[in-house]
Every structure is written in structure tokens, then in C-alpha cells.
Structure 1
Amino acid sequence: MWCIKKFNELSSHDFFHIARLRIDTFIVEQQRIYPELDDWDLQAKHVYYQRDGQILAYARMFLAGVHFAFGRFVIHPTVRGTGLGDQLVKLILHYAKNHYAEYPVKIEADRRVLKFYQRHDFQIQGTPYISNGIPYVQMLYQPKKTTG
């Protein structure tokens, strides 16, 4: 089941499983040392897929100044490669179109997953940079124009 909730709408159980997935993935699996939880968690909408009490896909999304953004995008290891990540991106973009259509969608993407975001019409903006020891690049969502 897909859910979109504000921080104060999350149950303590759901927040625990979200934090656990993020920490298990970003801190333990990817061995990144940085503050995983931050103030954006309090402001963001949290979008996640839950089955049998387990969080299998997650991202947080928020308005960041003059653009709509999402981050902390993560898929549980047991369901990677099943299309759940594609579903999550599509859900986020649909939400952005319906609630924040006047804002461009811009993300900071780990350079290791650029092709994934490029499949969803994100284009690289600017030059790569390092943040907290992690190589990132900014990407802007630019949907393909369809001709009628």
C-alpha cells in the first residue's frame, strides 16, 4: 500500500521502519557517515510503500525554495530490481504535477544512479560535486514533449 504523510501523521511504528531502512541502507550498507535524520524530515511529505508492516520503498519530498525536490530515495534490498523504484518516481512526479505544477522538479542525485533518473526524464544540471564525501549531481526533471 502506498502512503503519503506529513511527519506528524506518521505513526511511531512507521517512522521507526522508515528510519531503519534509511540507516540500514545509507549508513550501514553504503558506509556513509553523515547525519541521516535532519530538519527536512520535519517539513517533508513522506511517501512510502508498506506491505505486512514493512517499509519496502521510501522517499521524502518537499518544496525547497523555488523548486520541488525529493530525496532519501531508497528501496529495500529484497525488492530492488522489481520496478518498485520506478513506481515510486512516477508517484512522486504525479504528486508534484498535481500539487506543485508551477515549480520545477530538481534533485541531488548520487552519481551512481544517474541512469535510473535519466530513464525518468531527469537531465544533469551543472557539474558534479562532493557532499559529505558522496559524489552528487543536480538533476532537473524535463519531461519529453509529446506532439498531438
Structure 2
Amino acid sequence: MEWSIKSFDELTNDELYGLLKLRVDIFVVEQNCPYPELDNYDQLALHFFLKINGEFAANVRILPSNSKYLEVSIGRVSVAEKFRRQGYARQIMQNAIDYVLNEWNEKRIKVQGQEYLKDFYSGLGFEQVTESYLEDGIPHIDMIWEAK
């Protein structure tokens, strides 16, 4: 098990390909949702990922404040199907929150999550701040985490 956090420029070609493949496999293919996965924010992001036996198991993208949103945001939260239900989503999210809090000294984090994941994000301390809305045909909500 190998945790890594890298800027876009620090990613190797193989790492970038692996992360993009994981995201496309989940958000485009598995969810049958054609949308522009390559959105020009990866270049600004930190990419936090988990590899298990050389396979990409989980990934999140952390964007600095005043990039996509006013707040720091965590997005593209993804866990490969074969690694689900083992707690990796919670681990990677908690690690990302800790990184933002301790390394960037930021006190607010935004997620734009699929509505069915509300309880997951609430369990990490996020609070819903918008009504449900459709994004690429899938119900989403915005949620904010604030340091206590």
C-alpha cells in the first residue's frame, strides 16, 4: 500500500494516465455519463492517490482556494471497484482534509458531491449548503467542511 500526493508537474506519465483512467472508468463508463473529464483544473491541483500492489485504488483531487471555487475543494473522489467497501474512500478523504488543514492552513473545504453520497460526506463533517441540482444528469449537492 503506497499513499502519494503530487502536483500535476510531479506526476509521471504512468501516474497521470492511471489517475485519469481510474476517473474515466468510474465517472464516464461505470456511471454511463459522458462529460468533459479533462476540465483544465488538474494542472492546478494536488493529486492524492493510493496504489495497492501497483494498481490505482483511490484518488482525490485537491484544488486551492480561488481556483474552481472560492474555497479549497476536494473532488474527483474515486475508488476502483475492486477496492471498494474497504474504507479507502473515508481514509483518503480524511487524509486530504488533514492535508488542507495542516499544510495549507485552510479552514473551509467545499465538495460538489453526488447526492447519494450525502451521508458519507456528512460523516466526515461536511454540511449541505445547496438544494439538490442536476450536474451532467446526476443529482448533486454542495457541501462545506469547516474546522471547529
TM-score in terms of structure 2 length: 0.92
Is 2:134–2:140's contact at 8 Å kept on the other side of the alignment?
yes
> What is the Cα-based RMSD across aligned positions, in Å?
1.3
Match in the other structure for 2:143:
139
> Structure 2: how far apart are the matches of 1:21 and 1:126?
28
> Structure 2: how far apart are the matches of 1:63 and 1:125?
20
Alignment pair present for 1:85 and 2:89:
yes
Which of 117, 120, 126 aligns to 2:121? It is 117
| Letter matched to residue 98 of structure 1 | N
| Letter matched to residue 49 of structure 1 | L
> Structure 1: how far apart are the matches of 2:26 and 2:136?
16
Moved more, 115-124 or 63-72: 63-72
> Structure 2: how far apart are the matches of 1:9 and 1:104?
26
> Structure 2: how far apart are the matches of 1:129 and 1:64?
23
C-alpha distance 61-102 of structure 1, shift in aligned 2 (>3 A)? closer
Is 2:110–2:144's contact at 8 Å kept on the other side of the alignment?
yes
> Structure 2: how far apart are the matches of 1:7 and 1:107?
20
> Structure 1: how far apart are the matches of 2:106 and 2:54?
35
Q: Of the two, which has the highest radius of gyration?
A: 1
Q: Deviating runs (4+, > 2 A) in structure 1? A: 99-103
| Letter matched to residue 28 of structure 2 | I
Alignment pair present for 1:26 and 2:27:
yes
Count of residues paired in the alignment: 144
Is 1:57–1:88's contact at 8 Å kept on the other side of the alignment?
yes
Query: What's the secondary structure of 2:74's corresponding residue?
Result: strand
TM-score in terms of structure 1 length: 0.92
Query: What's the secondary structure of 2:36's corresponding residue?
Result: coil
